[in-house]
Homo-oligomer: A and B are copies of this chain.
Amino acid sequence: MDVQVDVSSRVPIYRQVCDQIRLAIALGKLEPNDRLPSVRELSRQIVVNPNTVARVYTELEREGVLNTRPGLGVFVAETRSDLTRKARREKLTEQLNIFLSGAVHLGLTQDEVRRAFEEQMKKFQWKG
């Protein structure tokens, strides 16, 4: 678990950390039942207030990504999805549009984006 925080970014710290933990899990760098660093440990490591880290863990627990075992620590949860198929497709399209409109705005070509997409996709842990 190496987490990088950019304090000068406009993205809130707790969001940066959330994103990185989600990413690590999606990439398979963290697997179900792996233990994460303790709140105090991680807060020392990335030089951030313990409350901020606690907030990250709380938030990811509510999302079902992590779960905490009182007195033991915080662990990666088993994956599950309560969402309907339709809701999931909608969320996907929504996220996709945000991503693609950013890509267009960067002035990249369709092929560049497709290549990057295919390349990155290999690195993730897919379901099927």
Contact = CB atoms under 8 A, between A and B. Distances in A.
Interface residues of A, number: 65
A109 B88 CA distance: 12
Contacts of A79: 105, 107
A67 B13 CA distance: 13
Interface string A101-123: 11111111111111011001100
Nearest to A88: B106
A58 B125 CA distance: 31
Given A26-B105, A81-B105, A96-B116, 10 more contacts: A8-B69, A26-B100, A79-B107, A81-B107, A83-B84, A88-B108, A92-B103, A93-B120, A95-B102, A109-B127
